[in-house]
A and B are shown apart, each in its own frame.
Chain A
Amino acid sequence: QVQLQESGPGLVKPSQTLSLTCSVSGDSISSDSYYWSWIRQPAGKGLEWIGRAYSSGSTNYNSSLKSRVTISVDRSKNQFSLKLSSVTAADTAVYYCARDRGQWLGNYYYYYKDVWGKGTTVTVSS
């Protein structure tokens, strides 16, 4: 049974870099057909996709966050990470990591988030 667990500081100062790690158990992060994603949710608001990374290192980012985001995969530790620079209070949210499973359909792979971590709350405050 695949499990994902987020970890990292719960409090980050404005202008600093938010760093979170998602540890994967029960499966190899190097497996084919998976992307590894980060999603966040401000209190009382909806879900916002941050970005995703493939085990090879290729990435896709939310265009509104792209200049500040880095998602990377560490195959040796079976984990992936999120770095968000120059944070402000607007970055305060619950941060989730998730596995994107791919399914071949016609001529394309289509992805859906089939496993989620429990989430970790990050507050940006001085």
Chain B
Amino acid sequence: QSVLTQPPSASGTPGQRVTISCSGSSSNIGSNIVNWYQQFPGTAPKLLIFINNQRPSGVPDRFSGSRSGASASLAISGLQSEDEADYYCASWDDSLNGVVFGGGTKLTVL
């Protein structure tokens, strides 16, 4: 059972806008920043969004992040087939004094 809650799956058709939620509590997302990671099968995770809504160099602006209260969201607009991957949210938890991950969301492009 992950400390941060994500839907196990999400889907959309090419060109659509998809959002993936990440729900936490006052000890993590409610008081700390959220980062998002993208992982393709058999490869290491890659930083997608950092500090709630910042994109590293090279990440398309189709990807955006937001945080409100104890929840966060990752939005992907203009969905493309190459976006099919697993997505993980992460935050620091003040009570656990450590990093917590969401359980991950498998995105399927129909």
Contacts and interface: CB of A to CB of B under 8 A. Distances in A.
A86 interface: no
Nearest to A66: B98
Q: On chain A, which size bracket covers the interface?
A: 20 to 34
B2 interface: yes
A64 to B, nearest CB: 9
A51 B98 contact: yes
B56 interface: yes
Interface stretch (A12-20, A76-84, A110-118): A110-118
A122 B46 CA distance: 21
Contacts of B99: 37, 49, 52
Interface string B95-110: 0111111111000000
Contact of B101 (A47, A60, A111, A118): A47
A116 B41 CA distance: 15
Interface stretch (B12-20, B21-29, B30-38, B71-79): B30-38
Interface size class of B (residues with CB under 8 A): 20 to 34
B69 interface: no
A113 B47 contact: yes
A82 to B, nearest CB: 15
B92 A111 contact: yes
A44 B2 CA distance: 15
B45 interface: yes
A117 B44 contact: yes
A116 B51 contact: no
A47 B97 contact: no
B37 A113 contact: yes
Interface string A13-52: 0000000000000000000000001010000001111011
Contacts of A46: 2, 88, 101-104
A23 to B, nearest CB: 15
Contacts of B101: 46-49
Interface of B: 2, 32-33, 35, 37, 43-47, 50-51, 56, 88, 90, 92, 96-104
In the A-B complex, the 10 residue pairs with the closest CB atoms: A112-B50, A49-B99, A116-B44, A112-B35, A46-B104, A47-B101, A110-B33, A46-B103, A114-B47, A119-B44
